Amino acid sequence: MTLAQVIRRNGVLFVATTQGIAALPPLAVLLLDGGTTVSVVLAAALVVALGWDYLFAALRHRTIIPTGLTTAVIFTLFAPADMPLWHLVVVVSLGCVIGELVFGGRGFAFLSPATVALALLLLSLPDATLRAPSAAMALACLPGAALLLGTGLLSLRVAAGFALALGVAVGVTDAAGAVPVLIACSAALVFLVCDPTTGAVTPLGRIAHGVLAGGLVWVFSLGAPGTPGAPGPDALVFAALLGSLFAPLLDHIAITIAARRRRPRHG
Amino acid sequence: MTAPSPLAAPFPDRPMAAPAGSVALLGAGFPDLRIRAEAETGAIVAVGQVVFRDARHPSIAFVSPIHGRVAAIEHGPRRVLSAFIIEPVAGQQVAAPVRSGDSVRAQMLDRGLWPALVARPFGGPPDPEASPDAIVVLAAPTSPTAPDPATVLAKVLADRADDFDVGLIALTELTEGPVHLCVGKQWPRAVQDHPRLRVHRRRFGRRWQAKAAQVARAVGRGGASGRVWTIGYQDVAALGHLLRTGACDPLRTIAVSRPGGAQPETLRVPLGSSLGPLFGPVTGSPARLRSTTGPSSERRWSLFLGRHDVEASLVPDLGPPPTGAPLRPLIPFNALDRPLPFGVPTVPLMRALTTGDRDACARLGCLSLLPEDVAHLTDLCASGTDYGRRLAEILGQLRKDLST
């Protein structure tokens, strides 16, 4: 069975499963590091996200597609380990419901629920600081990135546009300067910025989407504390959110450009 | 009814006799074709005899590809032609009465070759009065399993070398614009010089040239905003044959792929041949017959070969698509990044087709495309939308808008 046939048959379930598998290695690294506190966050996020999935599926008389699984896992990758549980319940609920389920579920929404939940966490709870990925976690993202690339769910155009824009903006000149930036961006780039269902969909739009997100990361990390040059996770979350928000506009511009090129010509 | 004898070699040195199965002139591929029958059920018709005419344009005649008896005339919804079935009869073949004007246009109309032309936009045979901005002859290989046009002309039509050239030059009489010939690098023949004849050669690797891509290459991305007619290379040879000898050539070379078969088999069969005899008795898992014009074309389940089809295959039946299920989302994975021919963005067009947004489809350039150009998207999409059928509906609406 070809990849296209698998995707055709399983739809969003395939997307959620692949994304979930891709997120397993960094999650394992996190669990080894954080132990119980991370497990509690993960368990609570899973219960909340899957609970909303089940509730909406029941109310709509549809079969349940457990896309909340990836929402919870990706949320856990960034969530502060010491966050109060009621904060978690509120932001994950809002992320799942207003970010995804009110639009009809994964694939119909224009924002990734994990990104929405993290952005809400940062906006409504100013004291919260997201987890910056460690070098081990960044390395653990690589197999997942390869899997998503291989299945066509991670757009190389978005990733390349992002890396190019951020590299130019931060002023990366050599490999030594690129490593901390790459580590800081790793998980956010793979799981938030390059979300398969909420990005731009035209080739040109995808490059513009990546460039916009990369540029915004630089803008948002201006003046932020931390390693100079390496963007913080909150800058990455907001850049991913705005990138997805502007993706339809970028597509529209790309389509207009394509339509301009289609001029009558015979001969 | 006897099964055709399979050819030993992929390409025969000489054309083989047509297998004696029934044939059907299908309504598929001719949008809203309503007919005025000239032969009633039970009538005996000869090869090349007019059996019905297009009710909207009565000058467009459809002829019988075999000597046989009209077995059935089947209509679909709103009296649109579904199939005009002719079964073979033994006995003396009566020569078809020849009654035709002198011009190429009149000959094509009266002798049943006008339906070989496909008009863009909207598809189907063009208006008999109209003159296109350009004509594109599709002679590039369209798929790894379809017969290679260069080989067909070199081997199967070897003794009719001049037919293709005569047909090609005759096409220049239909238009004041250029006639484009799209061929692969292996094209065996020198092409005649003509001021309005342009040849587009291209090497083909793993990417086969879908029909729309050939047209886009020939006329440029903006070409389809004008009127472009396309015609297959075998129909061009048939046109040349008609003009040179006055005889109708209803045989076409097609490839037949059997499940598990190593190499597709090349057969020379009448237009609209029944697919059943080509495959013989089918055993094992449920399977359905289908015929296609190329890899990226419409995948119709069918019992007969379509007018423009060059491939027939037996594929596993995966059962009907789920009905009544809620719409599933489209997954914009990377394979859908590549734009359709004419630079039409793929995923935006799929979304516009799914929601039935006519204006958005027009803005995206759907008028350049035919349903067969987008049908392959159905196989790439998780939503279960039949994009070929959706585009046919949208094009029908746009056509109605334009005519009012």
Give the separation between CA B272 and CA B252, rounded to whole angstroms: 10
> Shortest CA distance to A237 belongs to which of A196, A192, A170?
A192
- Whole-number pLDDT of residue B207: 54
B354 touches chain A (CB under 8 A): no
Nearest-angstrom CA–CA distance, A165 and A169: 6
Query: Residue A135 carries which DSSP code?
Result: H
* Separation in Å, CA B189 to CA B37, B169, B214: 41, 15, 19
- Mean pLDDT, to the nearest integer, of B119-139? 88
Using an 8 Å CB-CB cutoff, list chain A residues near B225.
262, 264
Give A149's contacts (C-beta < 8 A, 6+ positions apart): A156
How confident is residue A81, by pLDDT bands cut at 50, 70 and 90?
Answer: confident
Residues of A in contact with B337 (CB under 8 A): 155, 157, 201-203, 206
Burial degree of B403 (CB within 10 A; 0-12, 13-18, 19+): exposed
Q: Assign A192 a pLDDT band (cuts: 50, 70, 90).
A: very high
- Residue B18 DSSP SS3: coil
Q: Residue B348 — very low, low, confident or very high, per pLDDT cuts 50/70/90?
A: very high
pLDDT of B10 reads: 39
Chain A residues whose CB is inside 8 A of the B176 CB are none
The pLDDT of residue B316: 63
Whether residue B332 and residue A262 make contact (CB cut-off 8 A), yes or no, is no
User: Does the distance separating the beta carbons of B222 and A265 come in below 8 Å?
Assistant: yes
Residue A66: which residues within 8 A CB-CB, separation 6 or more?
Answer: A16, A50, A53
- pLDDT at B310 (0 to 100): 83
Query: Measured on CA atoms in the order A75, A77, A80, A83, is the torsion positive or negative?
Result: positive
In the predicted model, is pLDDT for residue B256 greater than 60? yes
The dihedrals phi and psi of A231, each to the nearest 5 degrees, come to -70, 150
pLDDT the model gives residue B11: 40
Q: Does the structure's ipTM exceed the value 0.85?
A: yes
Question: For B333, phi and psi rounded to 5 degrees?
Answer: -80, 170
Q: Is B15 on the interface with A (CB under 8 A)?
A: no
B365-397 tens-digit pLDDT: 888 888 888 888 887 888 878 888 889 899 999
Q: Which of B328, B339, B365 sits opposite A11 (nearest CB)?
A: B328
What does the block give as tokens for B45?
A: 């018709």
Q: What are phi and psi of A10, to 5 degrees?
A: -100, -15
For residue B283, is pLDDT > 70?
A: no
Could you give the maximum distance between any two Cα atoms of chain A, in Å?
Answer: 71
- Note whether B222 contacts A: Cβ–Cβ < 8 A: yes
Q: Among A218-227, B229-238, B331-340, where is mean pLDDT lowest?
A: A218-227
- CB contact A103 to B (< 8 Å): no
Q: Best interface-test mutation with A: which of B198, B328, B359, B376 has the largest number of A CBs within 10 A?
A: B328
Give the distance from residue A106's alpha carbon to the nearest chain B alpha carbon, in angstroms: 8
A150 touches chain B (CB under 8 A): no
Neighbours of B106 (CB within 10 A): 14
Q: Which residues of B are less than 8 Å from A67 in CB distance?
A: none
What pTM was estimated for this model as a whole? Answer: 0.85
**A266–B368: do the CB atoms touch at under 8 Å?**
no
Rounded to 5 degrees, φ, ψ at B98 are -95, 125
| φ, ψ dihedrals at B330, nearest 5° | -85, 135
- Which of A192, A74, A148, A170 shows the shortest CA–CA distance to A179? A170
Q: Using an 8 Å CB-CB cutoff, list chain B residues near A62.
A: 326
DSSP for A190-232 reads: IIIIT-TTSS--SHHHHHHHHHHHHHHHHHHTTT-SSSTTSPP
User: What span, in angstroms and rounded, lies between the C-alpha atoms of A119 and A239?
Assistant: 10
Identify each DSSP E strand in B251-305 by its residue range. Answer: 251-257, 265-270, 287-292, 300-301
The answer to whether B364 contacts A203, with C-beta atoms less than 8 Å apart, is: no
Using an 8 Å CB-CB cutoff, list chain B residues near A264. Answer: 222-223, 225-226
Q: Which tens digits make up the pLDDT trace of B220-250?
A: 765 555 788 999 889 999 999 888 888 888 8
| Confidence band, pLDDT 50/70/90 cuts, at residue B5 | very low
How would residue B7 be classed by pLDDT, with cut points 50, 70 and 90?
Answer: very low
